[in-house]
Amino acid sequence: MTNSMTYKGYAARIVYDDDDKLFVGHIAGITDRIGFHADTVEDLRNAFHEAVDDYLETCRKIGKDPQKAYSGKMMFRVSPEVHRKAVLAAELEGKSLNQWAEDVLSRATG
């Protein structure tokens, strides 16, 4: 089972570990690896909130930006057919491939 939680603009990936009978989570999009766990969903939610709050407080105390820095540049490979279709879709919308891809990714990520 895989799922996610959000709190204060932070998200965490949640996995159920059947061997240990625990829910395990890790905060995504930060510069450090912060994990938490619990055996019930309610306790997991509380552990997540505590992990975020503690992380933000620690970052504040040491003057560190908790967010991972992103350049805005993305490079990935797709098949030539997907590339062709994307260029065509962008052209039909009167956009560059970069503008079109940003719009598509923005809609997909909400």
Say if CB 15 and CB 2 are below 8 A apart: yes
d(CA 98, CA 87): 9
For strands 10-17 and 2-7, give the pairing.
antiparallel
Inter-CA distances, 43 with 36, 46, 48, 67, Å? 10, 5, 9, 25
Q: Look up the pTM and report it.
A: 0.73
For the chain, 110 residues long, give each residue's pLDDT as a single digit of tens.
Answer: 559 999 999 999 999 999 999 999 999 989 899 999 999 999 999 999 999 999 999 999 999 999 888 899 999 999 999 999 999 999 999 999 999 999 999 999 88
